[in-house]
Amino acid sequence: MRFQGDSKAGRIARVCVILASTTALAACGALGGGGPATGLLAASSLPGNGPQADFPVTIGEPYQIGSVTYRPADVLNYDEVGYVTAGNGRGYTGAHHTLPFPAYVEVTSLETGRTILIRLEARGPMETHHLLSLSPAAMEQLGASENTPVRVRRVNAPEMHRALLRDGQPAPMRMDTPMGLVEVLRRRLPAEGSASLALTPVVAPQVASTVEASSDFAAAFTPPVANEMPPPPLAPPAAATPAPLPAAPVSAPRPPAASGFAVQAATFSTRERAARVAEALGGQVVPFGNLFRVRTGPFATRSEAEASLANVRRAGYSDARILTDGQG
């Protein structure tokens, strides 16, 4: 049937009206519940869990607990030791007196050296002067209890670890802090409250110059003197006759040429944890004193080692690096 004035433009207009009505019905189904299409629409309307979920950042005004005034600030190199208390947050989260939230911090138990990554989501603890309060899940992951001494250090965590924490899941365990450094940190603990490490670098006792662990551990120990050569040997005493020939100049010894490469992924305080990581990465455990290193390789070329390094870092070991023959 054709109507008066049923031009081509009029037919196009009626098709648009029909399509608009169909879209409106689908939207109503999304609001009222329905089948698979409804679920898809509902999911697409939810806020994402991407990096935008870390903004805006809240700092807040100064406040008092008893006689102590806390002044929140956005401190990037925050690094303090103190004590932990139990909170009631969800997932793997914590509350802090002055750091902005959300923010990401490493928390190290100064009893075991175990280190975890958490997301700060609140101000607190509001009843005590403890350095930090942890959610039940984070307390369990750290193996901590009320008043456990801890180190809290703000870090720039990888986005994949941030996404896990935003979703209420645990981030991969961080590298254990060696007990030699833990003992030094324990000596910096105050009787209550907290003490900053940011302005006074931590210097550990004398240790072997080849000790390597996390970047934080390496920074805390005094580095060995680089490229130090032994003094040239003394010339032999001159004989009475015949006169000795002029001594040839002594050249400094050269390091051996690298003939192989390996990737050092991480260092652990227990063989069990090192073995689990080595199995996951297809590497091996290399004992070093009281520590256990996880390495992949050896590789004949540097390009092969760089490919393995990329895989290791994708697995979450951002401090991994390439070693050549002659290195520890």
Distance CA 28, CA 154 (A): 46
pLDDT at position 143 over 70: yes
pLDDT value for 94: 97
The packing angle between helices 8-32 and 36-44, to 10°, is: 80
pLDDT tops 70 at residue 218:
no
> How confident is the prediction for the chain on average, in pLDDT?
75
Residue keyed to tokens 């390996």: 262
Least confident range from 81-95, 106-120, 199-213: namely: 199-213
Q: Looking at residues 23-27, what average pLDDT do you find? A: 43
- What percentage of the chain carries pLDDT values higher than 90? 41
CA 2 to chain centre: 71
Check: CB of residue 315 under 8 Å from CB of residue 280. Answer: yes
What integer pLDDT is reported at residue 133 of this predicted model? Answer: 97
Tokens at 317, concatenated: 């070991």
- The CB density around residue 248, as the number of other CB atoms within 10 Å, is 6
- In which band, very low, low, confident or very high, does the pLDDT at 7 lie, cut at 50, 70 and 90? low
Lowest-pLDDT range of 47-61, 163-177, 228-242, 257-271: 228-242
Query: 3-class SS at 143?
Result: coil
Residue 100 amino acid letter:
P
Identify the residue whose tokens are 């050549």. Answer: 324
Q: 26-72 pLDDT, tens per residue?
A: 444 433 443 333 333 333 333 467 899 999 999 999 999 999 999 99
Which segment of 54-58, 173-177, 303-307 scores lowest on mean pLDDT?
303-307
Q: In the predicted model, what is the mean pLDDT of residues 213-234?
A: 44
Regarding predicted confidence, which is higher, 199 or 196?
A: 196
pLDDT, position 134: 98
Asked whether residue 226 carries a pLDDT value surpassing 70, the answer given is: no
Distance CA 28, CA 25 (A): 5
d(CA 324, CA 295): 12
More confident residue, 248 or 143: 143
Q: 0.85 exceeded by the pTM?
A: no
Record the tokens describing residue 184, joined without a space: 């030094």
Q: Which domains does the chain have, with CATH numbers?
A: 63-196 (2.40.40.10), 261-324 (3.30.70.1070)
